[in-house]
Amino acid sequence: MLTITWQEEIASLKQDLRKEINKISDHSEINIPNYICINNLKSKLERLDEIENILSIEKYKIVFIGTIGEGKTTAICHLFNLISDFNVSKTIANKSRNVIETKELLSTGAGKTTICEVIIKAAVKTYIEIEPYTVDEMENLIFEFCDYIADKDKDNLQTDQKIIISKEIERAIRNIIEMKLQYKTIYEGEKKKTEIIDPAKEKFDLLGLEEVKKNALNNAKLEYRTTNKIEFDNQTNEKEWIKNVFAAINNVEFKEFAIPRKIYLNVSYDVLSGSNLSQFDSVVDTKGLDENPIRKDLQKYIENQDTICLFVTSFNDAPEANIRKLIGYHLTSKSKDFHHRFVTLVLTHKNQPEKVHGCDGDWDAGIQIRKEEVQATFRNLNLDFFLENILFYDALRYYRDDIVKLNTDIYSEEDVQADKNEFIEAIVGVVERRRNILLDEIKDITESFTRIKNGDALTGSEIKAIEKAIQKIKDLRDLSKRVPSFVYKDQGLDKGFVTKYIEYYRTVYKAWNTKHAIHRNFGSYEPRNIDIYYDMRVFAEGMDEDEMLKKFTKEAKQELENILNDLTSANESLKTLIPELVIQFNSLYDNFISEVGKEIQKEAKRKLSPQKEDSDFWTALIKEKGKVRPPGETYTDNVCQTLKHELEKEESLNTFLEIQAVKSWKKLVAKILSFFGEK
């Protein structure tokens, strides 16, 4: 007996569905039962197209997402054999010794992090390519660094008055402008201490801010930083070349390279011998999460069907707050099946699992207990998450405590490789589970289609039940009858959308220089992946089910769902036809939330336009920097009031949100009614 491939099965099923649709459509009378039947079959066709596209994915991207400093890069390097042994100087028992340690090829130094997103691919030849920042963008970063230096010695500054710059940006700028920190050893008797000399601070003290800026720009020679690609030259050890050149590009040590917006590392098969990297399209090390984890740059990966997202979290805090927020925001979209592609990657350290309460010092038992605790956390947040998609990995589990070197007294290279293979197999298992779920769905669609074809005509009582349900659905068309206007606006102690967003803007981007950078770039700040228009979209939609639009419409959504479910439970023949509509409704609801959010994003951009220097609004915000203020007045208060006023003037963004919600909800209900043949 010949085995039928899924491609053949889908092609045959689609053909049969189209024939049946044409057969019913050619019927002399298109009544309610026929409308339901046709739309049910059309839904099946659409879903089969989606399944076909997903099953056709040859290689998945593996994307690591996590808070800064959680160990994403270290895990990636060890998992995909981007490591090698190097001679290093190490202090052991208070003495400096030369030892051989295993180092990550993407290591940038102790306590340091990658400056941007890194995309790693298997290739025939090793080379590194960057997507650079523009000259204007780099100039702005240099000026911000100079302001940071000028601000350093100011006393008693509150958090929102301090200038904050990330360590990786500071390191890059110091290299570009040739003002690296210098370290000098000073002896006081038998004691020694290290003095830090800051050339940038010395120049500021001597010359003042404007001269420091001129000097920094002159040293940077930004217009000459035009090289974007460098290939392995075959002159040195290839792994050593990757380590040194990647660090130099990440730290912007090469005078011909700009600050990278993205780094593309293409690694030769020679280096990847024994690695699993070529199993995947690419591995992506995203820029670490900070105050605002729900970022526009991550959404493309999260929404792409060809991506497995690994949310990285430390063992003791798993899942930590940033990961809970990010996963929670996306998993509330029930129709998108994100949980099929989401993995929580818990990074353990040495004997942490053995210290878990109730495991009796057993590593495997500790892992299992912690895994169930992580899933329970998601369950308590009303989020679906497969237990099998909660994975654990410790890159240094088999290494010595004193130096980063395999502990050969206990373990072998085979132990290390077996651990990596087990993890990669678990990732492949995520893909296989998703594939099997979809293959089962093809069978379910086939069986459902057979039942529809062979099913009896709807009874008179079933048709009456449908008519009654249609009327109930029509009564839910006007969202304003379910959600009063005041929930969108300030009323008494209750705060409306704009006020709540401004509070969010004030607290999430605490430092004044971050706000100033956002204003100077007219609402976005790429070095920190900030986009206030996208933020407003997310905020309007609701970061979870109990916020903003998701909260306001929760009751109305439940009413609609109940109407459809009641039809199924009370009427035998409808059990074949209506479940498709319930699935479709969840998709329509998610699209409704997303559509309103996108409209808010567009309207916010329109209200704050033009995004140019000749805008009175942006000029007013930019001029708040350095302004002399009377007692009690602050930079943050002023810019937040100005932003709030702009979002509320003319037609307030509060009113716009309400209007869009009502309009889009009406469209959602109309689509449900069309399933029954209603206009």
Q: Count of residues for the chain?
A: 679
In a domain, 273, yes or no: no
What are the CA-CA distances from residue 106 to residues 74, 81, 241, 278 (Å)?
8, 11, 11, 18
539-594 tens-digit pLDDT: 999 998 899 999 999 999 999 999 998 888 767 777 788 888 888 899 999 999 99
How far apart are alpha carbons 143 and 222 in whole angstroms? Answer: 13
**Rama region for 234: left / alpha / beta (φ>0; ψ in -120 to 50; rest):** left
The per-residue pLDDT for 2 is 60
Residue 608 to residue 590: CA distance in whole angstroms: 27
pLDDT tens, position by position, 269-320: 999 887 889 999 999 999 999 888 999 999 999 999 999 999 999 999 999 9
Q: Is 164 in contact with 516 (CB distance < 8 Å)? A: no
Would you say residue 199 lies in a domain? yes
CB atoms within 10 A of CB 610: 12
Q: What single DSSP character describes residue 194?
A: E
Residue 657 lies in a domain: yes
Residue 338, domain member (yes or no): no
- In whole angstroms, give the CA distance from residue 619 to residue 519: 8
Last residue of a domain, one of 172, 195, 224: 224
Q: Is 527 a member of any domain?
A: yes
Q: Which neighbouring-strand residues pair with 229?
A: 129
Q: Is residue 334 part of a domain?
A: no
Q: Which of 201, 224, 247 is the last residue of a domain?
A: 224
Residue 206 lies in a domain: yes
Domain count across the chain: 2
Of the three residues 224, 252, 272, the one that is the final residue of a domain is 224
In a domain, 586, yes or no: yes
CA 486, distance to chain mean position in Å, is 32
Examine residue 610 and say whether the peptide bond preceding it is cis (omega within 30 degrees of 0).
yes
Regions of the chain where pLDDT drops below 50: 1
Q: How far is CA 347 from CA 289, 307, 412, in A?
A: 16, 20, 21
Domain of 219?
136-153+162-224
Looking at residue 109, its pLDDT comes to 56
Smallest CA-to-CA distance from 595 within 535, 537, 674 is with 537
Q: Are 70 and 313 in contact (CB under 8 A)?
A: yes
What local confidence, expressed as pLDDT, does residue 571 receive?
A: 72
Global confidence as pTM: 0.93
